[in-house]
Amino acid sequence: MNTKRLLWITPKWPLPANDGARQATTQLVAALCSKGCVIDLLTLLPEGEAASESEVIAALGVRSAIVVRRPKPGPSLHLRNLLRHPFRALTLSQYATKDLSRKLVQAVSEPDTVVVFDGLHTAAWLQELPRWPTVPLIFRAHDVGADLWSRAASQRKGFAARLLEWQGRAVQRFEIALCNASAIVFPVSDADTARFRQLAPRASIETLPIGMDSKPQRTRPAEDDRILFIGRLDWPPNRDGLKWFLERVWPKVTRPFALDIVGSGESSWLAPHLRDSRVKFLGQVESVIPHYHSAIVNLVPIFYGSGTRVKAIESSLFATACLSTERGVEGIGLDPKQDYFQAESESEWIEALNTLEPEAARQRGKNALARVAPRYDRDRVADHFLRTADAWLDVASTP
């Protein structure tokens, strides 16, 4: 792999790495570069968004940082693309213009190039081509996109449900096509790997966990009365889970906890809950470290979605125990009896917080760190990427 150039295509600028997808990308890319890989990072950036190529090169060690502009999403763009391509997923349309595909065909034409699609959207431009490029493709799947649409459809009725189901089928068709065209597909969790193998049984698919800096991070004890929610606030599983917690659980918590909410994205829906003096919204912060250090537990009220919860891994690496649904830590390998506090129903969440023992939380945080660090160490993950990709690329190139 070190003799080849990796063209790593991302759907958004990687810095600051303030959400799970960006963290997953930057950690893996930086680890691969430290092992001698030549990576050109290409971002499909909306028109008008700022980008500092030199900052990315310095932070990640990539050979170059390339910006290719895509249209800004909006109703007029979606309508235009719906009329032009009625069977194509609307959320992929901004990444599938003729101009974008022409520029990207040029970008992938350099000899000895392997293209890494960091998420489904970054490959959408292939739909504009009569024939896909013959260069080796690697698909890094952060979730099973079609299943997210199916879940959203199940929560709607009538026309809205039918529309979401229709979009889900369009996403699934493209996911299957990309899996089958790729030399290797790298989902982030075993559950997603199993699902992709159902959808594309002929494809080469192997779990590649999210890599993180696994060095022990805790430097001081947590505060017994402070709890934390951290995550992007406009990602539907985060938004819906936190909203459920604030409406159904938080009013019945009798312990004198203070709740810190850290996250970027559209957050106006939080306004009614901020009248509670116990709740503090900190928005996007420069560093999450002091907030993990302060919290006795990290809340993960996630009830749907695929992929891996980066914040649950990150919390464990800071030895901060999670209070989570089973879905919230799915695929990470944490034991609910030793490594985190599991709660599913409203009553279980209320009881877990009202009876929380700080020393038990500290011990579970330490257990979680010991459990997570070996599997999610970014250097080990990078080594696994290189071994597996080399093996499957050799197979794919064999006549």
DSSP assignments along 311-333, one per residue: HHHHHHHTT-EEEE-TGGGTTT-
Stretches where the chain sits below pLDDT 50 are 398-399
Q: 226-376 belongs to which CATH class?
A: alpha beta
Name which of 172, 196, 156, 182 is nearest 89 in CA terms: 172
Query: Nearest 5°: phi and psi at 110?
Result: -65, 140
Query: Nearest 5°: phi and psi at 85?
Result: -135, 75
Q: At 121, list the tokens.
A: 């959207």
Residue with tokens 């950690």: 27
pLDDT in tens, 95-139: 988 899 999 999 998 888 999 999 999 999 999 999 999 999 999
Q: Could you give the 3-state DSSP secondary structure of residue 339?
A: coil
User: How far is it, in rounded angstroms, from Cα 63 to Cα 44?
Assistant: 17
Confidence (pLDDT) at 219: 59
Residue with tokens 């936190």: 242
Measure the CA dihedral 278/282/286/292, to 10°. 30
5-211+377-397 shares its CATH topology with 226-376: yes
Provide Rg for the chain, Cα atoms: 21
Each domain of the chain, given as residue ranges in start order, spans 5-211+377-397, 226-376
CA distances from 108 to 115, 217, 309, 384 (A): 7, 39, 31, 24
Confidence (pLDDT) at 398: 47
User: How far is it, in rounded angstroms, from Cα 252 to Cα 91?
Assistant: 39
Q: 5-211+377-397 belongs to which CATH class?
A: alpha beta
Confidence (pLDDT) at 399: 46
Q: Could you give the 3-state DSSP secondary structure of residue 226?
A: strand
Confidence (pLDDT) at 301: 97
Residue with tokens 């969440």: 349
User: How far is it, in rounded angstroms, from Cα 396 to Cα 388?
Assistant: 12
- Separation of first and last alpha carbons in the chain: 19
User: How far is it, in rounded angstroms, from Cα 25 to Cα 12?
Assistant: 10
Q: Could you give the 3-state DSSP secondary structure of residue 197?
A: helix
CA angle 238, 371, 27 (to 5 degrees): 60
Confidence (pLDDT) at 296: 97
